[in-house]
Structures are given as structure tokens and as C-alpha cells.
Amino acid sequence: MLVLVVTVLLYVCGFVFLYGVIRLAVRHAFEDLEARRPGLLRVQEITAAQDRSFVRENPFVANG
């Protein structure tokens, strides 16, 4: 009976531990995304501006 109780206790604690680890990893991932977002938006805007200027300089690219 003691073995069964210990087994169930370890089983439940293992799931609680894994839940905590996964939750912590997801939280850190979201924090990293929030920290990188301004830089990624800036790069995206620069790339879009370069694409527009490239199309203006080379109208045959856009069938124009």
C-alpha cells in the first residue's frame, strides 16, 4: 500500500513539475519575442522601403 501511495505521489508531482517547467519556458519565450519585436519591425520596414525603391528603379520587375 505504501508503494502505491508513493508511486501516485511521485506521478502527480512529476506532472506538476513538468507543467511548471513548460510554463516557465513559454513565459521566457514570450519575453524574448517582446524584446525582439521592435527590431524585427524596423527590419521589416527597411526591407519594404528597399523593395519599393527597387521596383521604382526597375519597373520591368513589376510588369509596369
Whole-prediction pTM value? 0.55
Taking CA atoms, 64 is separated from 2, 32, 59, in Å, by: 80, 42, 5
Three cell numbers, residue 46: 527597411
pLDDT surpasses 80 at 64? no
7-56, pLDDT tens digit by residue? 999 999 999 999 999 999 999 999 999 999 999 999 999 999 998 899 88
Question: Residue ranges of the alpha helices (H) in the chain?
Answer: 2-57
64 SS3 class: coil
CA–CA gap between residue 60 and residue 64 (Å, rounded): 6
Question: What per-residue confidence (pLDDT) applies to 58?
Answer: 87
CA–CA gap between residue 41 and residue 24 (Å, rounded): 26
pLDDT surpasses 90 at 60? no
Question: What per-residue confidence (pLDDT) applies to 63?
Answer: 78
